[in-house]
Amino acid sequence: MASVAEDFRGKFAAPGLSIAIAQNGRLAYEQAFGVTGRGSREELTPSHLFRIASVSKPITSAAIFSLIEKGRLRSEDRVFATDGILGVEYGKQPYGRGVEQITIDHLLTHTSGGWDNGPDDPMFSNVGMNHAQLISWTLNNQPLKNPPGKVYAYSNFGYCLLGRVIEKVTGRAYPDYVQNAILSPCGITDMRIAGNTLQDRAPREVTYYGQGQGPYQNPYEINVRRMDSHGGFDVSRNILKPETIRKMATPSDANPNYARGWMVNTKGHWWHGGDLAGTTAILVRTSSRFCWAALTNTRREGTVSALDDMVWEMVSKVSAWRPALA
């Protein structure tokens, strides 16, 4: 496995690489390779923290479904409008066409009708705004492109809204609820929302390196804290009911390969990649009861798919695991 990891590090000039593989709910392999940063002599260990970018989305989805299980929220609940979860506290009324029809499920499935992760992604604009200011600005200035529920368009902003839904329903800050309801029951104690600047790094957090010049390429000039519910975390037993898990893994009509916080395929595999300037991450659950995560502190073109391929190759090299992958 070490040779596969070092090949990846060499190809992508990755200072550090951290991998964990579980089978049937039990940790089977955990290893870190390299150092915490370029020029650093600090050897990377599995306990070092990495930003995980959009791998935060399955965590947010699990938090939403935990509230649905408790009867505190419904998939069909509307988000905005006088009877919506967030009411009319953001932006100017009347809202633009379609906004009041957006439901929780539309946000989970990236079918809200707008706010995709293209050049106008709200989450990478107005860096100095807090959540409330950014949501109001977006509602006022970026109308929906399609009717809700009709078209898939990957939306970081949609998962930002889900974070605010969690806060509204629970009366708790998003990271506090997630820690209590999702992470702690899984035995996870040291995840946290990442800081924005180099000076904000947590103890044992790696250093991040971007992929050149241009907007959003400097890892320390993006508002990661504001990305909490769609991409802000640093980094089993089931904590949700089987019927809830089936719902979470069921794709919408708009995209057969995206469910509710997870990419899915017909083989029964679930996964989610994440990448921001200086960060690449992958989280995978296979139909054969393997789960794994891999993290590195750089990003270049093709890094997410290469990171995924790397772990599949690692697992295939263990003779005892090959029959389960067939």
User: Is residue 302 a part of any domain in this protein?
Assistant: no
Overall average pLDDT of the 113-135 stretch: 93
CATH number, position 259: 3.40.710.10
Cβ-Cβ contacts under 8 Å for 198 (sequence gap 6 or more) = 207, 220
On whether residue 5 sits in a domain, the answer given is: no
pLDDT in tens, 244-285: 999 999 999 999 999 999 999 999 999 999 988 889 999 999
Report how far residue 271's alpha carbon sits from residue 258's, in angstroms, rounded to the nearest whole number.
10
Q: Using omega within 30 degrees of 0 as the cis cutoff, is the peptide bond preceding 148 cis?
A: no
Give the chain's domain count: 1
Is 126 a domain residue?
A: yes
Residue 40 is assigned to a structural domain of this protein? no
pLDDT at 235: 42
Which domain covers residue 127, as residue numbers? 51-280
The structure's pTM equals 0.88
Please provide residue 258's backbone torsions phi and psi, each rounded to the nearest 5 degrees.
Answer: -130, 125
Q: What is the pLDDT of residues 211-249, one digit of tens each?
A: 665 556 677 677 666 555 444 444 455 689 999 999 999
Q: Tokens 């029809």 belong to which residue?
A: 101
